[in-house]
Chains A and B, each alone.
Chain A
């Protein structure tokens, strides 16, 4: 009963426009003060420890920073050029290239809205130029953008791993096959539609263009190798990998792509070579662009971590009240099997994902469903991937999916128009969700092969 009031309060506060973080924190503090003997001092302490005490979460600012350097440094443009060179000549080629570019960008960044903005802004404009309808373009990008949180690295996965004590590395690996699959399914769908409707195709510019575009984009894409290779090669922890990625991205953006920092020159002018201005090696660290990127990444970290930190306080309330155990017992008594349980998880997350920032939602829902899943013999890694895919779909489900908002802003269309445009592809992702939910091996095969079987501790 108390818990129902607690959740009612959180949702009520959110709906009247209280920031998500404060809704979570305020409700939890009231409950702690009324129902337990916890003091305000220990709430303040847990707020501090949310950051200082969670080594895994430390990866978040670094991943955000790496992806900020990459977006500012013009990597999106290069990825799109590479994608077009590769698949642009097919029917519906530009749309397929858009999906492909979203997949590649997702592998550099851990966030879906960021992917939509970076790729969508360029691709939607480009698609309209060659004769696609704006609706088709927006529908494609809204859907493909959700891959941002499924293809590693992913901030949502870091949060899940931290909330349930599974390995970040495993989660990342587990996302690879589903991510590639979802992307492929979207591309095949587009190709089919394009064949039927006879959509425009680009011209094949030859392997030369593929190679040169690939080499150009390769500097950015090498980041994937650093992150995944570094983690699985046992060279560094995910947190260190993220920090190394951020430093690498800084060097690439400033000294190789030179679209930012002391060597950049606005407009069409050729950016300066490092040899012409060697002092840049020093000044890049203090350059305004560097500071701005650090600041933007810092700001995003702050808003995300504020939500996560408060969600951790709520999680504390739930564990104190033994809610996960009660819910688990109730569900097991009611005779729910694994299938029914997963359906319930799907529904909760689809609804929650509409309103809430995905990482905050994970912190709250994961501890609730995790013990039940273990009890029912569901693999924790598999559960994590299911949750992430649900979150993706929640982001593009009308009426209020987050990615719909972002796409409507980027494409300059109304929310409802974007929602309608993305429906056909949403259906594809739904089929994908069902596959991921009921075929565990899609998520577990890769991590088990590379890292040995998961050891489950209850």
Chain B
């Protein structure tokens, strides 16, 4: 989608860069933490006790943050056998239907993600089974900001959240609303990106949501080697 990149505004390019850097840094951090833990175990008979939990959480962050980026870049995998053989008008119609399905999917997950995260941050869940119909009344059990993760210790520079979230009591490990925050954030971004993709499809600036295999970019890079005849 390099053609799309060139037309981007400064802000657009900045966000691109930001998303790509975040993806690279998260994956790099996961690798280094795991590697260091192996070295510490064999070289020094010790280890970072929080290493595994941190890596697992970063893994979830990587994917949940990255799926919206993959929507923007049309990188999600799909089956294009049918949409490639139907006439363009039908292709466009199918594309728009598919996009609406994606929007509903992201919306449902955003509600789910909020409901899951909210109580951990002392915020009300939404009521309603399919669609948010209102906010719950906060009960005593709805205040769950004191839940902590298992291993990752609370860093000193985050202590300022204690009076805000935990009535001034000290956290020993980081509170759960921090790792889980990626859920509502990631799903919100996913919804936004799917809505944007839908408008592009309706305006005819894009003709599908999917690529047929993971190596499509790489194939394009090498296709010139064998193109003639």
- Among A16, A243, A410, the residue within 8 A (CB) of B97 is A16
CB distance from B113 to the nearest CB of A (A): 4
Q: Is A303 an interface residue (CB 8 A)?
A: yes
A240 lies within 8 A of B57 (CB): no
Q: Is A40 an interface residue (CB 8 A)?
A: yes
A342 to B193, CA, bound (A): 43
Chain A proximity mask over B114-140: 1 for CB below 8 Å, otherwise 0: 011000000001000110000000000
Interface-lining segment among A42-50, A259-267, A343-351? A42-50
Nearest chain B CB to A355's CB is how many angstroms away?
A: 5
In whole angstroms, how far apart are the Cα atoms of A277 and B174 in the complex? 42
Residues of B within 8 A of A187 (CB): none
Q: A247 to chain B: which residues have CB within 8 Å? A: 31-32, 35
Minimum Cβ distance to chain A for residue B29 (Å): 10
A interface footprint on B73-105 (CB within 8 Å = 1, 0 otherwise): 101111111110000000000110110011011
Query: Does the CB pair A294–B27 fall under 8 Å?
Result: yes
Q: How many A-B residue pairs have CB under 8 A?
A: 253
With an 8 A cutoff between CB atoms, is B55 at the interface? Answer: yes
Interface string of A419-444 (1 = CB under 8 A from B): 00000000000000000000000000
Selected contact of A39 from candidates B62, B109, B129, CB within 8 Å: B129
Asked whether, in the complex, the Cβ of B215 is within 8 Å of the Cβ of A117, the reply is: yes
**How far is the CB of A10 from the nearest CB of chain B, in Å?**
11
- B30 in the interface (beta carbon within 8 A): yes
Do B115 and A44 touch (CB < 8 A)? Answer: yes
Known A301-B27, A406-B213; judge A16-B83 contact (CB<8 A): yes
- For A124, the chain B residues whose CB sits under 8 A away are 225-226
Shortest Cβ distance from A19 into chain B, in angstroms? 4
- CB-defined contacts of A295 to chain B, threshold 8 Å: 20-21, 23-24, 27
Q: Does A239 sit within 8 A of B, measured CB to CB? A: yes
Pairwise interchain contact A33-B78, C-beta atoms closer than 8 A: no
Cα A248 to Cα B22 in complex, Å, equals 23
- Shortest beta-carbon distance, A115 to chain B, in Å? 9
B222 at interface (Cβ–Cβ under 8 A)? yes
Interface pair A294/B227, CB less than 8 Å apart: no
With A16-B83, A17-B95 as known contacts, state yes or no: A58 contacts B226, CB within 8 Å: no
- Nearest Cβ on chain B to A137's Cβ, whole angstroms: 9
Let me know if A303 and B79 touch, CB within 8 A.
no
CB-CB under 8 A from A305, the residues of chain B are 63
Pick the residue among A44, A57, A402 that contacts B183 (CB under 8 A): A44
Interface residues of A in 230-287 (CB under 8 A from B): 235-236, 239-240, 243-244, 246-247
Interface size class of A (residues with CB under 8 A): 35 or more
B59 contacts across to A, CB distance below 8 A: 51-52, 57-58, 61
Give the distance to chain B from A300, nearest Cβ to Cβ, in Å: 6
> Which residues 206-229 of B have a CB within 8 angstroms of A?
208-210, 212-216, 218-220, 222-223, 225-229
Known: A20-B77, A53-B56. Is A117-B116 also a contact (CB below 8 A)? no
CB neighbours of B64 from chain A (8 A): 47-48, 51
Indicate if the CB atoms of B215 and A113 lie closer than 8 Å.
Answer: yes
Residues of the B chain whose Cβ atoms lie less than 8 Å from the Cβ of A14: 78-79
Bound complex: CA A14 to CA B209 (Å) = 11
Among A15, A299, A399, residue most surrounded by chain B Cβ atoms (within 10 Å)? A299
Determine whether A116 belongs to the interface, using a CB cutoff of 8 Å to chain B: yes
Q: Is the CB of B79 within 8 A of A356?
A: yes
In the complex, B195 has a CB within 8 A of chain A: no
Known: A17-B78, A355-B79. A114 touches B183 (CB 8 A): no
Q: Which 4 residue pairs across A and B have the least CB separation, nearest first?
A: A40-B112, A302-B66, A121-B222, A44-B112
5 A-B contact pairs sorted by A residue (CB < 8 Å) = A20-B78, A42-B112, A114-B218, A117-B219, A134-B226
